[in-house]
């Protein structure tokens, strides 16, 4: 270890080729480091084709447990000749570069340390399995990096067993491949030291687990009582329903009879998927679909039907870069404004905005309750960064509350009413009507569901007055729902501040880090995290209490900024400023601190 070298504080990056099996090696390294009690924050950057294009894996290691992306790496593993030159230029001065021996380093950079390794030769001569040689080559780099960063090899073995938990037959071949790299380090580089080192630690990751947001959301769907899921594969949402299928096989299948307690259907497209989900919701099932931006575009008309006919359904949107096909494997928060009013005509939807994997789990459950309670579509807006990357979190709690199925009339209820009721009548003054479910054994239970004009008793009408009254009731129902949505989370600075920040979703993690950096520079800031639409009434008080409030988000047009300005009084709207990050990479803390320090005239 170099004297004074940073301990457990570095950014690692592996530059490889998509489809080469590098992801398994990356996960092995991540889980090995995490097993030492060291906080990790992995980020994938991968192409949208199946195989052959460059892919990068960035792993942030930070003793404070920051989860936001950083910039250039301190340690690089370069296994892609196509990107070698650019990857090398990205390394911080003083960094370490592990690379294929055949790559030339002549006259390129002299401010980094090179560790050439004949990966191809080692794989050819020491890995006997021809079918797995390409995949196992990546484990060689894991062994070399373990030596450089002083990671105990038993931690690597733990990472292998955890990564291949369901494939124990693969353990030994992967351990052997990693040992090839470890022995190569021992023989050629063990006397050399780099400027970073890892050491086991306690107190930050104790009791935490690693899980992806899509995996957490799928588990939340199981706990939320989902009984029907209809979906069509699309990056980056596919793994949500794939995980749902796996969980359903374990937890929603009678293993004696083989009977499934949940129906999961892969539809022919997104339009069919949401139609199936809405149909299932109409019958009383707790139904959902999962998609991304292009799928949301296809679901617009059906979303309007569910809103107007008042049918519960849950729709997950794991956001990616648009418009059109855009960058399918990059992250974004640019569907917010579109989803909020999805459909033609006057439409507003309930939207949940998870910022952590724990909230992916919890909001998935709440979404079904809200959809049933308010008889309406509920959108859950995650993003690629949250959905497809591993995050540290405390273990999830088992739900304690019963399901909220909302206002559902049974045959006994109808009998008490003498069979007199109306599907769209506002009986309780909260604008939420009562419904029956198909199969209710009472002659008065039936009604006609339509997306055209209807009166309080669900009868067809084109009356202008009746249409307006119904739309006004839907608007009142929306206001009723406002108070039932998850409220914002406010974090006050230790010192009084005239500056506030507003963010939502995964921007939260960059804000957490940025606030600490700003405070160290003498600029304490308060913070409010929005967790749902419609916006909480309490936001106006937060804005009123500050001279300037910066709205930070990951889209070009400042969509949350615009929504806030529409809802706040003019005097408060004038206090808002916008900071935007939209290059498809997860927002780093620097994208917040730099503009804020400039705008607040704080010396950098």
Q: How does pLDDT run across 109-119, given as a tens digit for each residue?
A: 999 999 999 99
Q: What is the CATH number of the domain that holds 378?
A: 3.40.50.970
Q: Are residues 150 and 234 in the same domain?
A: no
Please check whether residue 158 lies inside any domain of the structure. Answer: yes
Q: For residue 49, what pLDDT is reported?
A: 72
Q: What is the CATH number of the domain that holds 54?
A: 3.40.920.10
Q: For residue 255, what pLDDT is reported?
A: 87
Expressed as residue numbers, the domain containing 428 is 407-473
Give the separation between CA 12 and CA 44, rounded to whole angstroms.
12
Q: Are residues 375 and 425 in the same domain?
A: no
**Integer-rounded Cα radius of gyration of the chain:** 27
Q: For residue 4, what pLDDT is reported?
A: 63
Q: For residue 603, what pLDDT is reported?
A: 66
Q: Are residues 356 and 433 in the same domain?
A: no
User: Are the beta carbons of 20 and 37 closer than 8 angstroms?
Assistant: no
Q: Are residues 192 and 46 in the same domain?
A: yes
Please check whether residue 185 lies inside any domain of the structure. Answer: yes
Please check whether residue 483 lies inside any domain of the structure. Answer: no
Please check whether residue 377 lies inside any domain of the structure. Answer: yes
Question: Following DSSP, what letter does each residue of 372-407 receive, concatenated?
Answer: HHHTSEEEEEEEHHHHHSEEEEPPPPPP-SPP---S
Please check whether residue 172 lies inside any domain of the structure. Answer: yes
Please check whether residue 399 lies inside any domain of the structure. Answer: no
Out of 443, 473, 503, a domain closes at 473
Give the separation between CA 514 and CA 469, rounded to whole angstroms.
48
Q: Which regions of the chain are under pLDDT 70?
A: 1-4, 50-51, 603-604
Q: Are residues 278 and 365 in the same domain?
A: yes
Give the separation between CA 87 and CA 551, rounded to whole angstroms.
33
Q: Identify which of 255, 258, 257, 230 has the alpha carbon closest to the alpha carbon of residue 245.
A: 230
Q: Are residues 523 and 466 in the same domain?
A: no
Q: Are residues 374 and 466 in the same domain?
A: no
Q: How does pLDDT run across 473-490, given as a tens digit for each residue?
A: 999 999 999 999 999 999
Out of 186, 206, 226, a domain closes at 206
Q: Are residues 506 and 556 in the same domain?
A: yes
Out of 422, 441, 473, a domain closes at 473
Please check whether residue 239 lies inside any domain of the structure. Answer: yes
Please check whether residue 398 lies inside any domain of the structure. Answer: no
Q: Are residues 37 and 184 in the same domain?
A: yes
Domain count, the chain: 4
Q: What is the CATH number of the domain that holds 553?
A: 3.40.50.920
Q: Are residues 225 and 293 in the same domain?
A: yes
Give the separation between CA 444 and CA 538, rounded to whole angstroms.
43
Q: Are residues 462 and 508 in the same domain?
A: no
Q: Are residues 34 and 171 in the same domain?
A: yes
């Amino acid at each position: 270890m170099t004297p004074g070298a940073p301990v457990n504080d570095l950014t690692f990056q592996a530059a490889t080729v998509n489809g080469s099996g590098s992801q398994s090696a990356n996960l092995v390294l991540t889980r090995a480091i995490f097993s030492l009690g060291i906080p990790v924050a992995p980020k994938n950057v991968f192409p949208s084709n199946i195989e052959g294009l460059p892919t990068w894996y960035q792993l942030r290691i930070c003793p404070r447990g920051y989860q936001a992306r950083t910039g250039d790496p301190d340690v690089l593993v370069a296994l892609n000749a196509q990107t070698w030159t650019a990857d090398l230029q990205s390394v911080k001065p003083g960094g370490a570069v592990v690379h294929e021996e055949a790559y030339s380093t002549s006259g390129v950079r002299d401010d980094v340390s090179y560790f050439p390794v004949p990966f191809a030769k080692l794989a050819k001569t020491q890995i006997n399995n021809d079918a797995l040689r390409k995949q196992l080559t990546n484990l060689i780099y894991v062994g070399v990096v373990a030596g450089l960063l002083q990671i105990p090899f038993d931690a690597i073995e733990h990472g292998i067993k955890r990564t291949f938990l369901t494939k124990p037959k693969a353990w030994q071949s992967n351990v052997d491949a990693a040992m090839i790299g470890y022995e190569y380090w021992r023989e050629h580089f063990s006397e050399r030291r780099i400027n970073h080192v890892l050491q086991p630690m306690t107190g930050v990751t104790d009791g935490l687990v690693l899980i992806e947001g899509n995996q957490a959301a799928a588990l939340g769907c199981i706990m939320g009582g989902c009984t029907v899921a209809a979906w069509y594969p699309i990056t980056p949402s596919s793994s949500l329903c794939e995980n749902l299928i796996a969980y359903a096989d374990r937890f929603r299948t009678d293993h004696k009879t083989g009977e499934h307690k949940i129906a999961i259907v892969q539809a022919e497209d997104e339009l069919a998927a949401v139609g199936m989900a809405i149909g299932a919701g109409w019958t009383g099932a707790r139904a959902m679909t999962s998609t991304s931006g292009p799928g949301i575009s296809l679901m617009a008309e059906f979303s309007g039907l569910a809103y107007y006919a008042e049918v519960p359904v849950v729709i997950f949107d794991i956001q990616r870069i648009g418009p059109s096909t855009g960058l399918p494997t990059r992250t974004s928060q640019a569907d917010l404004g579109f989803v909020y009013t999805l459909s033609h005509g006057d439409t507003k939807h309930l939207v949940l905005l998870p910022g952590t994997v724990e909230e992916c789990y919890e909001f998935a459950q709440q979404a079904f309750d809200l959809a049933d309670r308010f008889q309406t579509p509920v959108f859950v807006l995650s993003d690629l960064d949250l959905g497809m990357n591993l995050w540290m979190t405390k273990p999830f709690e088992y739900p304690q509350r019963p399901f909220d199925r909302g206002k559902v009339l049974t045959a006994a209820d109808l009998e008490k009413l003498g069979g007199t009721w109306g599907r769209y009548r506002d009986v309780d003054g909260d604008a939420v009507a009562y419904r029956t479910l198909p199969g209710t054994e009472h002659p008065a239970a039936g009604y006609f569901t339509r997306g055209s004009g209807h009166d309080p008793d669900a009868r067809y009408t084109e009356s202008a007055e009746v249409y307006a009254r119904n739309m006004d009731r839907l608007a009142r129902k929306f206001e009723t729902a406002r108070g039932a949505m998850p409220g914002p989370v406010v974090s006050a600075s230790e010192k009084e501040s005239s500056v506030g920040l507003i963010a939502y979703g995964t921007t939260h993690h960059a804000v957490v880090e940025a606030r600490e950096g700003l405070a160290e520079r003498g600029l304490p800031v308060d913070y409010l995290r929005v967790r749902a639409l419609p916006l909480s009434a309490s936001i106006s008080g937060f804005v009123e209490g500050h001279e300037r409030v910066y709205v930070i988000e990951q889209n070009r047009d400042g969509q949350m900024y615009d929504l806030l300005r529409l809802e706040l009084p003019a005097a408060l709207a004038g206090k808002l400023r916008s900071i935007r990050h939209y290059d498809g990479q997860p927002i780093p803390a620097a994208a917040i601190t730099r503009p804020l320090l400039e705008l607040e005239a704080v010396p950098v």
